[in-house]
Structure 1
Amino acid sequence: MQGGLKKASPGKATILGLGKAFPHQLVMQEFLVDGYFKNTNCDDPDLKQKLTRLCKTTTVKTRYVVMSEEILKKYPELATEGLPTVTQRLDICNKAVTQMAIEASQSCIKKWGRPISGITHLVYVSSSEARLPGGDLYLARGLGLSPETHRVMLYFMGCSGGVAGLRVAKDIAENNPGSRVLLATSETTIIGFRPPNPDRPYDLVGAALFGDGAGAIVIGSDPIPSIERPLFELHTSIQHFLPDTEKIIDGRLTEEGINFKLSRELPQIIEDNIEGFCGKLMEIVGYSEKDYNKMFWAVHPGGPAILNRLEKRLDLEPEKLGASRRALADYGNASSNTIVYVLEYMVEENLKMKKENQENSDEWGLILAFGPGITFEGILARNLAV
């Protein structure tokens, strides 16, 4: 992975490596409906029709999932309405997210190119597990990190968790000269898997949209020349929550796992507030709303409606959200992980343009995600590979 054509600003955090990992089960979207209804012993034709329609509108083509026929044979109660199953779910989830996080982190550290002993801090993000000690400790043990590694755990932040993790890792890297922070995200939908129910039409959105996986990023300031290759500089990060929107994304841990309700108003609320939020970051480099198309856009793809509204509101050229749409099609909305996949696709696109001797002039851009709260997370970033 090449990079580092532009020099990072002294003392500013940079992304030094990216990695990802997935469970073995690949689901083709066209076969999802039949499999889901068979596995949950449901034969409601109306619900089946609704899910079929949703599967097309999500634009997802493939997803990876931990759930399998073997798991359902061992835990048939997961497909039965109303049974207390949180213990069983966590038994599966806790183990699965650790394994995926280890694999993503190993891939990332390999691309970073320095020994694992160089990792000084760990930021671990998940909305798919719950235990004491937390997944951060199991990941540190599984990777063989030093017992002196400083650990931070971000739980239940949903889709904004990946960019929140980047914000925290940036602060750590910049306040601890010489440090190297491993950010790991890991998610599985088993924590919220449920049979279809006509009383819960919003469950079908999750069934059509969400995927499993893990992501990892190494972050540090002042990259070592000829050893580390910085990909993006994390210049400025901000967070903003919208008062009185707590019920728009409503998730609760119950005896049956996590129950989510997503309001139909979500895309509209994001659209109504996106310009003001982005403006705060853009003005730092003297950009205004006329400059949206002069920037790159690494946006967490919560769903096609959010991307479509953002594109229309900001009058973005279609290719600006290309990496986000590609990540959504290939992996679904994998919650906190997805921003890692978006950034990887952006790096890939940079390399392709370089090989074809095409100029990529988007030096500045935004890394964005939206989560429960409703919370906006944003980072003004520099593409160092242009």
Structure 2
Amino acid sequence: MPQGDSNGSSTQHAAPTNTTRRVPTPGKATILAIGKAFPSQIIPQECLVEGYIRDTKCVDAYIKEKLERLCKNTTVKTRYTVMSKEILDKYPELATEGSPTIKQKLEIANPAVVEMATKASLCCIKEWGRPAEDITHIVYVSSSEIRLPGGDLYLANELGLRSDVGRVMLYFLGCYGGVTGLRVAKDIAENNPGSRVLVTTSETTILGFRPPNKARPYDLVGAALFGDGAAAVIVGANPMVGQESPFMELSYAVQKFLPDTHSVIDGRLSEEGINFKLGRDLPQKIEENIEDFCRKLMAKSSVKEFNDLFWAVHPGGPAILNKLESSLKLSTDKLECSRKALMDYGNVSSNTIFYVMEYMREYLKDDGEEWGLGLAFGPGITFEGILLRSL
């Protein structure tokens, strides 16, 4: 596979300066810096099918044809992955149907997610411009590792954080985990004066890697849509003038689950790894409930019309974005940042909302909307949302 930049970042930011256009609300949590990182393997979407079929030794023409069709429909152009020829050479059993490989997968995934989380966090801390020792709390989000102690402790060690840093570990939330991490960081920042919270998300698809099987159609959706990577933000209230550059305020956060929908997104851990099933009615369920959820968030602002907001939406897939756009009658540019993140990175689970927000930061620089919504959806069905204010 072609090699990519180890941190995958194409955007360079200067040291923080006080460029805030709007004054932060006293006591409200703000995002002070953002960073991202990726594994070295980059996969152009047009190369995925041949590589996946080769790596899994699949000889079924139907499966290949279906994967080709799915890859075109996802709108993804490039993705990053931990999986490599070296890993498959070392663990050939990963490409064998029915092999109990959870131990091997965790040997790969556990250090990989911390390595990516460390790179993303260092990138974020560099942009923030203050020493790592000033971080008071960590919120660590991942659905891709399992161990005790968790990746939060390994990350704290790698970053050289002080030993009394407050750690929160959020495991197996799936695609809404990044917004949950922001909600938890908001609560910490606003209730602990002077605190600075590092939110780190890191994901790899290794736990779900297996040969394709007609009995598991969602495996092909995962192969066509999901990617690997990490992201980090630093959250704090009452930014230090001249030292910190807040670009987004976390005004109000809401989580909601839809009763009796827990089987629509179903993930089970087994000796073979993690198995997912995704209900075809997921986009429809989101469409049926999204307007009321958004109006609850909007009620805390002065905005009444959906098109007067900016939209930072986790791109679970093009069908979800299309349903959201049509049901809320959004203009075509409103989900541009979400579609760009999906195109450039695929669905990277909890990380993806931060890739969207990084694009949104650039989009909002030229007199963009003041108020917006950050949204993500995942197992439950769970809706996670934050009313955002651009600074």
**TM tier relative to shorter chain:** over 0.9
Return the match for 2:330 from 304, 307, 316. 316
Equivalent of residue 379 in structure 1, options 360, 365, 386: 386
Q: Which residue of 1 aligns with 2:10?
A: none
- CA distance in 2 between partners of 1:345 and 1:319 (Å): 13
Question: Aligned pair 1:292/2:306, yes or no?
Answer: yes
> In the alignment, what sits opposite 2:217?
201
Letter in 2 for 1:120: T
1:18 to 34, 55, 80: 34
Q: CA deviation at 1:350?
A: 2.9
Amino acid at match of 1:366: L
Matching residue's letter, 1:215: A
Structure 2 counterpart of 1:216, from 220, 232, 244: 232
Task: Tell me what 2:76 maps to.
Answer: 60
1:331 aligns with 2:338: no
Contact 2:125 2:132 (C-alpha < 8 Å) held by counterparts: yes
Residue 315 of structure 2 corresponds to 301
| Deviation of 1:156 (Å) | 0.1
The answer as to 2:259 corresponding to 1:259 is: no
Letter of the 2:372 counterpart:
G
Deviation track 1:59-97 (CA, whole Å, cap 9, x = no partner) reads 000000000011000001111110100000000000100
The alignment partner of 1:152 has SS state of: strand
1:75 to 88, 91, 95: 91
Amino acid at match of 2:218: Y
Ranges in structure 2 where 5+ consecutive residues have no aligned partner: 1-12
- Residue 368 of structure 1 corresponds to 375
Match of residue 341 from structure 1: 355
Aligned-residue CA RMSD (Å): 0.8
Q: Which amino acid aligns with 1:302?
A: G
Partners of 1:127 and 1:117 in 2: CA distance: 27
Quick one: which amino acid aligns to residue 19 of structure 1?
G
The alignment partner of 2:300 has SS state of helix
Quote how far apart the aligned CAs of 1:13 are.
0.1
Measure, in 1, the Cα distance between the counterparts of 2:284 and 2:298.
22
Aligned to 1:84: 100
Shift of 1:347: 1.1
Q: Which amino acid aligns with 2:298?
A: M
For residues 287 and 294 of structure 1, the distance between their equivalents in structure 2, rounded to whole angstroms, comes to 7
Gaps in structure 1 of 5+ consecutive residues: 354-358
Q: Is the 8 A contact 2:364 2:390 kept in 1?
A: no
Q: Which residue number corresponds to residue 242 of structure 2?
A: 226
Question: What is the aligned partner in structure 2 of residue 356 from structure 1?
Answer: none
Deviation at 1:284, TM superposition (A): 1.3
Distance 1:286 1:267 in 2: 29
Indicate yes or no: 2:131 matched with 1:108: no
Q: What do the CA deviations read for 1:334-376 (whole angstroms, capped 9, x no partner)? A: 000001100000112234x3xxxxx32x100000000100000
Residue number among 176, 186, 191 corresponding to 1:170 in the alignment: 186
Q: Give distance in 1, aligned partners of 2:20 and 2:103.
A: 47
CA distance in 1, matches of 2:301, 2:245: 24
CA distance in 2, matches of 1:121, 1:7: 25
Q: Distance in 1 between matches of 2:126 and 2:278?
A: 38
Distance in 1 (CA, whole Å) between partners of 2:194 and 2:303 is 32
Match of 2:230, SS state, is strand
Letter in structure 1 aligned against 2:327? R
Q: Which residue in the other structure is 1:151 paired with?
A: 167
**In 2, Cα distance between equivalents of 1:62 and 1:316:** 26
Between the aligned partners of 1:229 and 1:376, the Cα distance in structure 2 is: 29
Spell out, residue by residue over 1:266-297, the C-alpha distance to the aligned partner (whole angstroms, 9 max, x if none).
00000100001001011111433xx1010000
- Pair 1:122 & 2:122 matched: no
Task: For 2:160 and 2:302, locate their aligned partners in 1 and report how far apart those are by CA, in whole Å.
Answer: 44
**Secondary structure at 2:335 match in 1:** helix
Cα deviation for residue 202 of structure 1 reads 1.3
TM-score normalized by the length of structure 2: 0.95
Counterpart of 1:324, as a letter, is S
CA distance in 2, matches of 1:191, 1:147: 31
**Residues of 2 paired with 1:88 and 1:201: CA distance?**
24
The aligned length equals: 375
- Give yes or no for the alignment of 1:99 onto 2:115: yes
CA distance in 1, matches of 2:382, 2:364: 30
Rounded to whole Å, the distance in 2 between the matches of 1:171 and 1:212 is 28
Which AA in structure 1 matches 2:325?
Answer: E
C-alpha contact 2:42 2:78 (8 A) present in aligned 1: yes
Q: What is the CA-CA distance between 1:128 and the residue it aligns to?
A: 0.1
* TM-aligned CA deviation for residue 203 of structure 1: 0.9
Provide the secondary structure at the position in 2 that maps to 1:56: helix
* Cα distance in 2, alignment partners of residues 159 and 48 from structure 1: 27
